[in-house]
Each structure stands twice: as C-alpha cells, then as structure tokens.
Chains A and B, each alone.
Chain A
C-alpha cells in the first residue's frame, strides 16, 4: 500500500495532475471575472463545475492509493452505490420489482466488489453478465407480475451493468499482475481516469471553439464532429506522452489512449440518450442537487472495462 509513495513515476504523474488542477483552477477563477454573455457564462460555469469535481476525484484517488486496494474497492463501491441509486430513482419501476431491487443493491453489488477483493477473477467477470442476468428476470417472474416484464428486467440489468459491472473494472485494474509492475498498479488507475477526463473536457472545449457539425443534436446538443476529433486527438497525444509511466511503448500508449477517448465519447453519448429517454421527464427533479454522480461517471463506464480487458489481454502473461 504505502509503496505507492516510493513509486517515483507515480509521484511524477501525480504531481503533473496537481499542477494541471492548480493551473485550471486559477484560469477558471480568472475567466469567471471576465465572462460577459450568458452563453460564455454557462460555458465557464460548466468548466468550473468540472474542475471542482476533478479536485474531489483527485482527493478520492489519493485516499484510495494511500489506503491501498481495500480503499479503492470501498471508494468505487460507494460510487457504484450512488450511481445506481440515481439510476434506479430515475428509471420507473413497479412495486413488484421491490425485492429484485433490494437484492441488486444489497447482495449483487457488494458481492461484485467482494470478488475483486478476494481476487476471484473468474467469478468477478461473470457475476453480473451471467449470474445477475439469470437472477434478475427470474426474481421478477417469481413475483408474478408480467406487465412490461422484458422492459423491467432490461432496465434493472442495464443499471447493474453500467453502475456496478462497468465501474468495478476501475478498482479491478489493481488485480492485474504485470511482470515488473507489482505495486505500481495505481498508475493504471490514474492513466485511465486522466486520459478519459481530459478527453471529455477537451471535446467540450474544442466543440465550443470550433464546433459546427452536430453529431446527434437530439441526444446531446453540445457534441460536434469538430469537438470529437479535436478532443480525441489532443487527449490521445497526451496519453501517448504518458507512455513512460506505463508498461506501454509510445505506439501502444497511443492506441490505448485513442480507445479510451472514443469509448469515453460513446459512454457520454449513451448516458445522455438514456437521460433524454427517462430522466428529464420523470424523476429528474429527485436527483437534482445530489451531485449528479451519473453525469460524472458517464464517460468512464464504457472505457473502464475495455481498458481493463485490453491491458489484461496484451500485458498480463
């Protein structure tokens, strides 16, 4: 655990992140005083909100690294819980789903994180796609209520996949045993989160500066092809530049960063579509003021499992 502190490359990475955060915070403050039009005000407020969230994520990451593997598990367990809580509040469920939901929150989710803790890779990987997938519809069927059966099973299963299965792959990175990288696994976590978040914000900034052609304006009016291209390529460049901290060659680092960026985009787009579909018109108001955990993890939920399996497939012997 505390060996993380003796990891010079991790400290360099970490110092870089802190320096970036301080610079961004100061820039954000400076811009705040100079905003004029309502549109620029909204953009700057959005950036400042992201910067605040990054400080929190940075604090969480620090705590996780200092406490060690258990710390990372507990913290991501809490994030999963908060995300699923928002998701299930937003998704309309029926009273007969009650017991299934109880199991999802209090049995399936904790078990998923326990299996990572016990390093039972085989069970961790199939827990939700296989075991929960058979449990959820069975449990709903036993309740005997067949009204929109498929819809209800699918909604609960989707929530478990996104909020628990996908997200649990972030702390699961600590399971990977790469020769020569024992004790340095916190770097994987930092690499994933930094590339993913930088790509997210750079897509936003590029989109604001040069965005013309909207990608799916019905889903998310802010996403443009120009923003996507600019954001993905500049974040990939940054990810490539971090190759020295990872067991990657620069070319591998470029490929992996590029994948993270694209999946970050995909995750964000899918979660926006989901919110358009269910959230805003029904229970959105209930989630207001709860920090919007779903909004913060949307770009991470697709990138995390793919990054995990890429690294596992190519770098774990």
Chain B
C-alpha cells in the first residue's frame, strides 16, 4: 500500500503467479525504471496480471494497463478492478471504424492517443496488447495502430516486446476456471520507429518482435 499498489492487486498478482507457475526471462533487456511501453500477445485474462507481476515492485507501482472500456465498464465489479485495483487506462474500442468521415476518425484517433500519452505522463509505463482482443493463442493477430501513433508521439519511451506462452491453456478466452499448467514470459529487445518508417511496416515489425520470442510448440 505504501508504494501506491492496491492490496488486491498484489494479492491477485501472487495468485496469478502461483496458478501460472510463470518463468520470467529478460532476454532482450533488463528491468528498468525508465518509462516503457510493454506490448505483448493476448490470449488470456491472466496476461496482464502475469506480465505486471513479473516486474519489480517499484516499477509495478508505476505501470498501468491499457484496457477496453466497453468490457471493463460492463459490470461494477469489473469497473472496480480496472479502475481502483489496477489503475487501468480504459479506452474505447473500434471508435475509429465507427466514425462517419475521415476527419471524425482522425479526431477520435487523436483523442485516444492523447489519453494514452497523458497516462504515460512523466514517469509512468504502460502495458498494451496491440491485437486489441484476446485470441486463441495459436497465432498472433494483426496489431492495431495505437502503438505506432503513441511511439511517434513519445519517441523517448522504450517499446519492449513480450511473449506470454501457454497462458491460453491456463485460462483461455471464455473460461473462468483456471488449469494450473506452467507458463513462460519472455521480454525481448526494445524496438523503436525508424526514420521515415510507415505505419504498416512498423506494426508488422513490432508483431514480428513479439512472435520471435516464442520458444515452444509448432513454429
């Protein structure tokens, strides 16, 4: 509590670590207090808590998840966990696709980005799942553009890829009872937007950076 972490958050982190038996590997970088955006594949509700729990506690206190507003505001309980326990940044999903004109899309996109940028502030880090939704875990879906725009807006923040392995078997989408198998979390080498790199090229490269950390199963 002293460092600003909700006691429930610490409890859930301990439970998630126990259930997932996660083995953490810092393969491409070391834990660091500098501002970072951790981006990872998404296949389970455990993903965020496991990734978050793998960070040293002083970094954890300053690391917030980005989550979908529609899902996490649906019930009071979810809202409590997202807002009060994990201090999540809740963003609306799919608003850009819903916009009628390109100006409107540009406008809402800009607002979303500002929300993320202000959540980063001067000292926070973010955890982002650029696929935008949980997959089955077999393959990683295409990345949404938020990561690219945010990286351009805040070039000083490090982009750290991470791969969460086997969590889709522990608590898959649509299940609420966990099966305590073992899992792996690998942090990769930070990437950045290259000079003149276009959005799609960067997003594909970011996705590759996550895929390349996969250590098991069929390629």
Residue numbers of A with Cβ under 8 A of B are 81, 85-86, 88-89, 93, 95, 98-99, 101-102, 105-106, 282-290
> Provided the pairs A85-B21, A95-B172, A98-B172 are in contact, do residues A286 and B179 lie with their beta carbons within 8 angstroms?
no
Contacting pair B23 A286 (CB below 8 A): yes
Contacting pair B177 A89 (CB below 8 A): no
Contacting pair A95 B136 (CB below 8 A): yes
Residue from A98, A105, A285 in contact with B175 in the complex, judged by beta carbons closer than 8 Å: A98
The CA of A95 and the CA of B172, in the complex, are separated in Å by: 8
Q: List 5 A-B contacts (CB under 8 A).
A: A85-B21, A98-B172, A102-B178, A283-B217, A290-B23
Contacting pair A102 B23 (CB below 8 A): no
The CA of A284 and the CA of B182, in the complex, are separated in Å by: 11
Q: Report A-chain residues with C-beta under 8 Å of the C-beta of B165.
A: 286
Kindly report which residue of chain A lies nearest to residue B169, judged by CB atoms.
A93
Contacting pair A105 B180 (CB below 8 A): yes
Q: Report B-chain residues with C-beta under 8 Å of the C-beta of A288.
A: 23
The CA of A88 and the CA of B169, in the complex, are separated in Å by: 10
Contacting pair A283 B216 (CB below 8 A): yes
Q: Is the interface of B mostly helix, strand, loop or mixed?
A: loop
Residue from A93, A282, A290 in contact with B21 in the complex, judged by beta carbons closer than 8 Å: A290
B63 within 8 A of A: no
The CA of A283 and the CA of B168, in the complex, are separated in Å by: 14
Kindly report which residue of chain B lies nearest to residue A290, judged by CB atoms.
B182
3 residue pairs, one from A and one from B, having the closest CB atoms: A89-B181, A101-B179, A89-B182
> Provided the pairs A85-B21, A89-B166, A290-B23 are in contact, do residues A285 and B215 lie with their beta carbons within 8 angstroms?
yes
Q: Report B-chain residues with C-beta under 8 Å of the C-beta of A89.
A: 166, 181-182
Q: Report A-chain residues with C-beta under 8 Å of the C-beta of B178.
A: 102
The CA of A204 and the CA of B19, in the complex, are separated in Å by: 35
The CA of A85 and the CA of B217, in the complex, are separated in Å by: 17
9 further A-B pairs in the complex, CB-CB below 8 A; given A286-B166, A290-B21: A93-B169, A95-B169, A99-B177, A102-B179, A282-B216, A284-B216, A286-B165, A286-B184, A289-B23
Q: Using a CB-CB cutoff of 8 Å, which residues 173-219 of chain B contact chain A?
A: 175, 177-184, 215-217
Contacting pair B217 A282 (CB below 8 A): yes
Q: Report B-chain residues with C-beta under 8 Å of the C-beta of A286.
A: 23, 165-166, 181-184, 216
B53 CB to closest chain A CB, in angstroms?
A: 17
The CA of A98 and the CA of B176, in the complex, are separated in Å by: 10
Contacting pair B180 A287 (CB below 8 A): no
A81 CB to closest chain B CB, in angstroms?
A: 8
B213 CB to closest chain A CB, in angstroms?
A: 12
The CA of A88 and the CA of B179, in the complex, are separated in Å by: 9
Q: Report B-chain residues with C-beta under 8 Å of the C-beta of A105.
A: 179-180
A283 CB to closest chain B CB, in angstroms?
A: 5
Kindly report which residue of chain B lies nearest to residue A93, judged by CB atoms.
B169
B188 CB to closest chain A CB, in angstroms?
A: 16
Interface hub of B23, B175, B180 (most chain A Cβ within 10 A): B180
Contacting pair A98 B182 (CB below 8 A): no
> Provided the pairs A93-B169, A95-B136 are in contact, do residues A85 and B181 lie with their beta carbons within 8 angstroms?
yes
Q: Report A-chain residues with C-beta under 8 Å of the C-beta of B169.
A: 93, 95, 98
The CA of A286 and the CA of B184, in the complex, are separated in Å by: 6
Contacting pair B21 A285 (CB below 8 A): no
Contacting pair B181 A88 (CB below 8 A): yes
The CA of A285 and the CA of B23, in the complex, are separated in Å by: 10
Interface hub of B175, B177, B182, B217 (most chain A Cβ within 10 A): B182
The CA of A102 and the CA of B166, in the complex, are separated in Å by: 15
B179 CB to closest chain A CB, in angstroms?
A: 4
Kindly report which residue of chain A lies nearest to residue B175, judged by CB atoms.
A98
The CA of A86 and the CA of B168, in the complex, are separated in Å by: 16
The CA of A289 and the CA of B179, in the complex, are separated in Å by: 20
Kindly report which residue of chain B lies nearest to residue A81, judged by CB atoms.
B180
Residue from B179, B181, B184 in contact with A285 in the complex, judged by beta carbons closer than 8 Å: B184
The CA of A283 and the CA of B179, in the complex, are separated in Å by: 16
B171 CB to closest chain A CB, in angstroms?
A: 9
Contacting pair A287 B182 (CB below 8 A): yes
Interface hub of B165, B179, B184 (most chain A Cβ within 10 A): B179
Kindly report which residue of chain A lies nearest to residue B215, judged by CB atoms.
A285
Q: Report A-chain residues with C-beta under 8 Å of the C-beta of B21.
A: 85, 290
Residue from B136, B175, B182, B216 in contact with A85 in the complex, judged by beta carbons closer than 8 Å: B182
The CA of A89 and the CA of B166, in the complex, are separated in Å by: 8
